[in-house]
Structures are given as structure tokens and as C-alpha cells.
Structure 1
Amino acid sequence: MKKFALIGHPIGHSMSPLIHRKLFALSGMDDCTYELIDIAPDDIPASGELIRSHTGMNVTIPHKQSVIALMDELDETAKRYNSVNCISCRDGKLTGYNTDCTGFLLSAASLPLDGKVLLAGCGGVGRMMAIETALHGGRLTIGIIPQDRPLAEKARAEILDMCPGASVDIAQISELDGDFDLMINATPVGMYPKTEACVIPDEVIGRCGSFFDAVYNPTDTLLLRKAKELGKTGIGGAAMLVYQAVKAHEIWYGGKFSAQDIAPIIGDVEKAVAGMNK
């Protein structure tokens, strides 16, 4: 029996077991288990043997950086973002990866990441999205509220260090000018239960061509509903959640899945999320 798990604290309700069990089933791997393991932050340094007892693990907050010290090797993605959300154990050797970036890029593949991009939120997953936008040649504007300027300045410095010559501006959301090809929400604004909040005003929504919202609960945030009412393309966070899991299976055992395999799982996640909120 091969053991897999998600570690975090508090672990709460997670879509991970649903997603991973379906991916194992598609691969014909009926000898795999997937569980949720709650590990307090102070216990992470002593968790190496627990992790090694599994074939693979996913990592969620607040452990994505603290587990790095337990890794024998880091993939380039983990080094780039100083963050591990996927661990592979082979012959007792732990390798850390970051599949959030792959999940984002695959779910946003139809969106103009190489165009003029407005990003709200530049901490955590937002930092990754900002870096990927720059790496793909996008002209990035980080939209902020005043108190987030130091974080945005730090993100811009990191981006320019990785991508010299990248186009990175910072502007307060209340003072945004011009049109954007793509708007990305990497903040929790609009997340359940505060579903009637929207990260940018209607006037700015009207000046954006397409949207990606990392929030997956609800599946249709107020931002996406407003965008779609204007006939604009909008993609929610459920797709990213599934695609980062798909990448983990590729890492763990070479799993391969088609778009036709993945689409129903995204639909199942969206249905499960909707059911949670009733």
C-alpha cells in the first residue's frame, strides 16, 4: 500500500482527498491511500520520518517554507519561490517541488499572461503569479491598498532580480489608469463567507479584458460574475487546485492525464464547494 497525504495546520476541510483519489482511480492505482494530517508548526522539525513513511505528500499553510529544512533536494520551482507544496520520497530521499506555478500556468493557459496584466495581491501565491507574469513577458501592474506598498516594493525588487528589464509598476487600486488584457486576483477578497466583496471597482472591471481569480470558494466569485455579465472571460481557482494536483501525480509516479480526464474533476470540485456552502 502506497501512502500519500496533505499536511498543514489547521487542516480543516480540504478538496485534496477528492481530487487525488480521483486521479489515482484514473491511473488504475487502487493500492494508494490519501489522508489529511494536521501537524502543529512546532512539530515540523521532528516530522522527517513521518514524511519519509509516505510515497508523496502535499503541503499547505503554514508549512510551505518550514518543510524546506527537511528536504534532501529542492526542484528548481521550489528554489525559485522558496516554497514547497509537493514532496516526493524515493529511496528515503525527500525532494521538494512547487506545483502551484504549474497549476496556475495550466489553468490560465488560454489567458494573455504575456499582455498588460493587473495583479491584486503579491504575497504567497500572488508573488508566484507576479514572477510567472514577468517570465512570460507580461507588463505587470501590481494593484495595492496603501498599507501593502512595502510588500509590493519587495516583490518588484525580487522580480527585477530574476527578470532584469521586466516591466513592473505599482499603483493604488483606487488610482488605476488604462486598460488591461488580464486581471488576476491573488487576494482572499470574495472568498466564502464574505462573498459580496470585490477586489476592484466596477469601473476597473470594465477596462480589463479577461480575469483569473485564485479564490475557489465560491466557484463564481463576485468578481467573476461581474466580468461574465460584461461578456468577458473568467477562470476561477478550482482549475488551479486540480492542475497543481495533476502535476504532483506526474512527479510521484509519472501519471499522465488528458484534458478530458481533468475537466470532470474540476466540475466535481466545483459541485463539492457549492455543497459545502449550503
Structure 2
Amino acid sequence: MKKYALIGENITYSFSHIVHQEIARLADIKLRYDILSVAPKAFVGAVNRLKQGYDGFNITKPYKLDILPFLSQNHSKTQAVNTVKVLGGELIGYNTDGLGFMRSLEYNNIDIDGDCLILGAGGAARTLAYELDKVCNVFIYNRTKQKVFDIINDLKLKNTCWTDLKSLKPKVIINCTTLGLNDEMCLPDEANLQNTQVFYDTIYNPPLTPMLKLAQKLGKTAVNGMGMLFFQALEAQKIWNNINLNQEQISEALENICDKVK
């Protein structure tokens, strides 16, 4: 039986094992998927164990850039890595977050036809900015400006800039911070929601963060990160096991996953 895992810090809340097992069930393959929550000082040892005993693994906060020195190859266009294939004792990096995000927009019938505000400047923000920069104006709000400038310069983004939120009236707001995991509001007080139609939170547990509750109260579109989690996992399984699911299977998988995590 093939073995996979998710590695991150303080990730006992993760539903990744449920998602990957559901994808495997529909593809009629058997696999094991572990959740490895490790502190930074234990990261190197955990990567070595994964390299020796697993067929591949996913990476989440805060290690999407920390994994880079351990890779023999990196196919990620944004440097940040969320998927690793173990092949012949070597680690090969990929990023499926961007495609997972874009497919989740399509699945939820969301068209990007206005300015997008991204909250945060971590690995997820980096990848989403890269994808959105191709189709709209992107504004990133983060307390540390330099992290935003690093994203723009590293990825050579042409339609992305840092914002202090003054005069900005975004059509779409995307939370890429961890604020919301413990019922915190991620929206800064100075955010202008006058034109905002879509509130997207990359957090999926809890399914309704304070930002999404506000969106529902305002009668706007509220989307959590479950779709992104599913589609990036499906892309990872395509890399690992050449798995493809049809539209009917995708709908069945998402329905079953949502039932299991209620």
C-alpha cells in the first residue's frame, strides 16, 4: 500500500486525509494518508522520514518554502511547494494550489471580473497572486510590506501591488492568512466592502469563518477553502498516481467529504 502524508505545524484540524481517501476510493486504489503536525525544530527529521518511508507528501503552513533546500527538482512556478513526489530517493517539488484555486472558482461559478484583494503574503498568497495576476488587478494587504514586494519581484507580477486599503473597493476578497481558524476576523477595519461581491476564505475548518459569516449577513457570495483543498489534492494524486476523476465523480466526492466533516 502506498503511503502519503501532510506535513505542517499545528494542523490537527486538517481534513486532507479524508479528501485523499475519498479520491482514492473513487479511483479504486488503496493508500494510507497521515497528518504530521511537527514543530519547526523537528522539520528536518520529519522530511528525512518522509523521504525514506513515503511515496509522496503534501506541505502546508509554514513549510512551503522551507522544503526548497531538500528538493532535487522544483516544478513550482512560484517557488512555494505544496506537493512532493518521492522518486528514487529524491524529492521532486510541485505546486497544485494555484490550479486547485482556479478550479474551485470554476466549480463555484465565480468569474473574476474586478479588482481582487488578497489578505496575507505567505505561500498561499504567493501562488494565488501568481494565478490572479494573469486575469485581473491584484492588491495584497500584509502588515510586512517587504513580503508583498518580494512576491511581486520574485514572480515578476505586472498587475499586482501592495495596498494600504485606502480608496480600494475590491470586487473579490481572498483570505490567505490563518486568521479565522480560531474565530478571529481577518478583515482589517479599514477594508471597504462597498463593491465586494465575493468573499473567499482559503480556510475550510471551520467551514464558516467570521469573514464568511459577515458575507452571508451581507447577502454576498461566501466560499470556503474546501473546494480548493479538494482540487489541489486531486492534482496531487494526478502527479502521484495519474488519477483523473470525471465531473460526476467530483460532485460525488465533494458531497461525501462534506457529509463526513459536518
Indicate conservation of the 8 Å contact 2:119/2:174, yes or no. yes
- Opposite residue 84 of structure 1, the aligned amino acid is V
Indicate conservation of the 8 Å contact 2:201/2:224, yes or no. yes
- 134, 137, 151: which one aligns with 2:135: 137
Indicate conservation of the 8 Å contact 1:122/1:130, yes or no. no
CA distance in 2, matches of 1:240, 1:71: 24
CA distance in 2, matches of 1:113, 1:206: 17
Report what 1:222 is aligned to.
Answer: 210
Q: Secondary structure at the match of 1:180?
A: coil
Report what 1:128 is aligned to.
Answer: 127
- Opposite residue 128 of structure 1, the aligned amino acid is T
Percentage of matched positions with identical amino acids: 28
Any unmatched runs of 5+ in structure 2? none
- 165, 170, 175: which one aligns with 1:180: 170
Q: In the alignment, is residue 208 of structure 1 matched against residue 196 of structure 2? A: yes
Indicate conservation of the 8 Å contact 2:100/2:231, yes or no. yes
- Once the two structures are superposed, residues 78-116 of structure 1 have per-residue CA deviations (whole angstroms, 9 ceiling, x without a partner) of xx2x32221112333321112222222211234344531
Report what 2:156 is aligned to.
Answer: 163
CA distance in 1, matches of 2:250, 2:25: 12
Report what 1:152 is aligned to.
Answer: 145
Q: Secondary structure at the match of 2:148?
A: helix
- Opposite residue 32 of structure 2, the aligned amino acid is T
Report what 2:89 is aligned to.
Answer: 92
Q: Counterparts in 2 of 1:1-278, with a 5 A limit?
A: 1-30=1-30, 32-46=31-45, 47-48=47-48, 50-77=50-77, 80=78, 82-109=79-106, 110-113=109-112, 115-134=114-133, 136-144=134-142, 148=143, 151-160=144-153, 162-163=155-156, 165-172=158-165, 175=166, 177-192=167-182, 194=183, 197=185, 199-200=187-188, 204-274=192-262
Q: Closer, same or farther in 2 for the Cα pair 1:259/1:205, shift >3 Å?
A: farther
CA distance in 2, matches of 1:119, 1:37: 28
Deviates more, 1:251-260 or 1:4-13: 4-13
Q: Which has the larger radius of gyration?
A: 1
- By how many angstroms is 1:179 displaced? 3.3
Larger RCO, structure (CA 8 Å, separation 6 or more): 2
CA distance in 2, matches of 1:161, 1:38: 29
| TM-score, length-scaled by structure 1 | 0.79
- Once the two structures are superposed, residues 126-161 of structure 1 have per-residue CA deviations (whole angstroms, 9 ceiling, x without a partner) of 232223221x231122235xxx1xx33442353255
RMSD value, Cα: 2.8
- Once the two structures are superposed, residues 168-194 of structure 1 have per-residue CA deviations (whole angstroms, 9 ceiling, x without a partner) of 24124xx3x2532211122233333x2
- Opposite residue 138 of structure 1, the aligned amino acid is C
Higher fraction of helix: 1
CA distance in 1, matches of 2:139, 2:252: 34
CA distance in 1, matches of 2:92, 2:191: 46
CA distance in 2, matches of 1:263, 1:257: 10
